[in-house]
Amino acid sequence: MTGPLVPGDGVDAPGLGGHGPYRYARWDGSQRLVELTADDVLDALSDDLMAEGDLAEALRRLLERGVAAPRGMTGEGLAGLRDLLERLAQRRQEMLEQYKLGDALADVREELEAIVATERRGIERRLAGVSSDQAEAGLQRLAIDIAARHQAALDSLPRSPGDQLRSLRDYDFLEPSARHRFEALLDRLGRQVLDAWFEGLSEAIRDASPEALAANREMVRELDGLLRERLAGREPDQASVDDFLARHGGSFPGARTLDDIVERLTERMAAMQSLLASMSPAQRAEIRSMMDALLRDDRLRWDLARLASTLDQLLPAGLGERLRFSGQESLTLEGALAQLERLGRMDRLADRLAEGGESGTVPEVDDAEVRDLLDDRAVHDLAALRDLARRLEEAGYAERRGERLELTPRGSRRVGQRVLDQLFARLGRDAFGDHARSVGVAGGEPGETAVAYEFGRPFHLDLQRTLAHALARPENAPAVRAHGARLTLVPSDFAVRETQELHSAATVLLVDMSRSMLLRGCFLAAKRVAVALDTLIRTRFPRDELHVVGFAYHAREIRPGALATLSWQGFEYGTNLQHGLLLGRRLLARSHAANRSIVIITDGEPTAHFQDGQVEFSYPPTRRTIAETLREVSRCTRDGITINTFMLERSRSLTHFVDRMTRLNRGRAFYATPERLGEYILVDYVGRRSSAR
């Protein structure tokens, strides 16, 4: 076998790393190599999750746009509902550009002409068979007279196919083959046209007695009455619907409710109504004339027209739409109805997919229908889209709480790691320094005491103790290794030299959550910083502390696990930095860390403060607000707390206030755009941790 092998149908191979077995086949260009993991799914929706703070909304957007193939993987990724809708629209347009509604009754005309020609030949053959020496003169004259009357009837046939059908219904065919051919035409047209209204209607009215036709009229009138009740706002009771279906359910197979009846009736009638709406007036008149001829009952024709009008009023988009075919391939009546029915199925599938995109769910649709209207790939993509939420739940990234799907702590950690990785990736691309390498540095000097390794400790390996632990286990005993077995190590064997911790850090991140942060697009940037910094400290500096405090009209502490789903809520005035600093100072007072700091992210000067237990708000800020905030800065300074400020706005008033604050505290101030905020803060944090060793 030559050529690359890819997962698919073909050669069996054992799984690697517990993820098999796999099937391999030669690459032919049709295989799709992408198989999304729960990590891929969570990574794909994490940006929306950060922006919205709502897993259900982020998942809804992901279902709409689909999932791109993860980096390094070959394949087209997973199409979203929007992609499927676009493909449906493209298929629909291709049909309209392929066909044209020319003379839809051309085949009917040709067949009628052939039937009439067959009848004429039969008449002529019969006349030729009657000779004067074989028949009495009276019989010959009778045969000639009959033939003449039939010839005259054929000569006087109207040109319209509908009128011809009506005339030939009353014509007494002399030629059996012509009669059989005409009956076959009536049967075919009845199925094409009359059954577009009700299933089996052509069968029900063909050669029906007056009593049977009356029963059909009664069915149509009863249904029209039910629909008119709904149109008037009076919903028919289910007992009336059940009674109707008990007597006429054969025309609506599978229907149980009035909605089912309307759905089936709409599916059948829409194609015919669209055909009529799309035709020229002359074409439309010919079709209606033919339908009248097939119905054979003026009252039933009137009742059906009234029912169509009622249904058209009942449906929001009406019954059938005008379609503009612009192609070159002519359609017969049967072909036109078939293509219009297919277009209707496409529209109904598009409606279902669009409803799913709005509700955040993947609608249950018939796979065979999707395969017929699109392809196998669409069936696969829809099944995979339905599976996204389950993948997140099975991986422990999400869980159901009632009807809601919410992020778990494990999911929050995964999102945080992705945000952190993105920020450090940008640092590497932008040559912002070798900060990524510095992140792995932890403070402390190795000592002489060996201890078991724990996550978060500096990895100063004590090789002698590590090997001693390994050799003490039975599987590494000399007798076992004498038979050629290698020395094995397990995580519990590792010992490291205990470091003398030179410093630890406690940080309070104060995030401005005032309304201006949202309007200027700064809130998401601040939220990403909080998530990334929390992840950085938990994974690289686990002995450090981080508290996150949001402040606007007042301040409140935010749990690290809730950061990923944190959302800006409501219309909240105020930038109460004084309360934020007060809360941060109290949190740091409980810490035993050697280095304590407050990091402020804001886009404006303070506009609120607490006074006598009440929040005082004013914009522009009053001198009292500025003074109370600076008083809290002085208290932080006395407690040995460093305040570093990241400004997202360069207004004169904010710059002046931050300058006064930094002179009091001797902290630092930075100006950063929202796009670069995360990089600045991570670099600053890692730099301070490294320099403090």
Residue 210 has pLDDT above 70, yes or no: no
Residue 87 has a pLDDT of: 93
Which range has the worst mean pLDDT, 459-463, 575-579, 642-646? 459-463
* 621 within 8 A of 660, measured Cβ to Cβ: no
Between 22-36, 488-502, 626-640, the lowest mean confidence (pLDDT) is in 22-36
**Separation CA 614–CA 625 (nearest Å):** 13
% pLDDT > 70, the chain:
80
The per-residue pLDDT for range 38-51, each reduced to its tens digit, is 888 888 888 888 87
Residue 578: the pLDDT is 94
Asked if pLDDT for residue 78 goes beyond 80, the answer is yes
pLDDT above 80 for 314: yes
According to the per-residue pLDDT averaged within each range, which of 72-86, 430-444, 498-512, 643-657 is highest?
A: 643-657
pLDDT-derived band of residue 88, with 50, 70 and 90 as boundaries?
A: very high
Give per-residue pLDDT as tens, 162-198.
888 888 988 899 889 999 999 888 888 877 776 666 6
The Cβ-side half-sphere exposure at 646, using a 13 Å CA radius, reads: 27
pLDDT of residue 20: 42
Cis-peptide, bond into residue 236, ω within 30° of zero: no
**CB within 8 A of 118, min separation 6: which ones?**
175, 177, 178, 181
**In terms of pLDDT, which residue wins out, 526 or 615?**
615
Q: Distance between CA atoms of 258 and 241, rounded to whole angstroms?
A: 6
Which pLDDT score, from 0 to 100, does residue 113 have? Answer: 92
Quick check: 384 pLDDT over 80? yes
Over residues 281-289, mean pLDDT: 80
pLDDT band at 571 (very low <50, low <70, confident <90, very high): low
The 10s digit of each residue's pLDDT in 509-543 is 898 888 878 777 777 778 888 888 888 888 778 88
Task: Give yes or no for residue 504 having a pLDDT over 70.
Answer: yes
Q: How confident is the model at residue 397 (pLDDT cuts 50, 70, 90)?
A: confident
Closest of 692, 611, 597 to residue 646, by C-alpha? 597
Q: Over range 552-562, report the average pLDDT.
A: 84
Is the pLDDT at 117 greater than 90, yes or no? yes
Q: Please state, in angstroms and rounded to a whole number, the distance separating the CA atoms of residues 112 and 182.
A: 8
Confidence of residue 660 (pLDDT cuts 50, 70, 90): very high
Residue listed under structure tokens 């400290």: 537
**What confidence category does residue 388 fall into, taking pLDDT thresholds of 50, 70 and 90?**
confident
Segment 621-628 long-range contacts (CB within 8 Å, at least 24 positions apart): 621/653, 625/578, 626/657, 628/578
Alpha carbon distances (Å) from 689 to 78, 544, 600: 42, 10, 18
Q: Rounded to two decimals, what is the model's pTM?
A: 0.66
- Write out the two tokens for 393: 């739940």
Question: What is the predicted pLDDT for the residue at 637?
Answer: 94
Candidate ranges 281-295, 421-435, 643-657; pick with highest mean pLDDT: 643-657
What integer pLDDT is reported at residue 193 of this predicted model? 73
Q: Which pLDDT belongs to residue 22?
A: 46
Q: Residue 211's pLDDT is what? A: 67
pLDDT at 286 over 60: yes
Q: Which residue has the higher pLDDT, 522 or 9?
A: 522
* Percent of the chain clearing pLDDT 90 (strictly above): 13
Give the 3-state secondary structure of residue 645: strand
495-500 vs 445-452, strand pairing mode:
antiparallel
Report whether 667 contacts 646 (CB < 8 A): no
Query: Domain spans of the chain?
Result: 106-349, 445-500, 505-691
**Angle ∠(298,299,303) on CA atoms, nearest 5:** 120
- What per-residue confidence (pLDDT) applies to 500? 46
Of 569 and 362, the structure prediction assigns the larger pLDDT to: 362
Is the model more confident about 167 or about 15?
Answer: 167
Spatial distance between the Cα atoms of 626 and 658, rounded to a whole number of angstroms: 11
pLDDT of 33: 45
Is residue 21 reached through a cis peptide bond, with omega within 30 degrees of 0 on the bond before it? yes
| Selected residue with higher pLDDT from 155 and 460 | 155
pLDDT beyond 60 at 553: yes
Backbone dihedral region of 546: left (phi > 0), alpha (psi from -120 to 50 degrees) or beta?
A: beta
How does the average pLDDT of the chain come out, rounded? 79
Predicted local distance difference test score (pLDDT) of residue 526: 80
Residue 128 structure tokens:
């030729």
* pLDDT score of 458: 62
Q: Does domain 505-691 match CATH 3.50.50.60?
A: no
Least confident span in 14-28, 77-91, 358-372, 652-666 = 14-28
Angle at 70 between CA 43 and CA 531, to 5 degrees: 20
Position 587 scores a pLDDT of 94
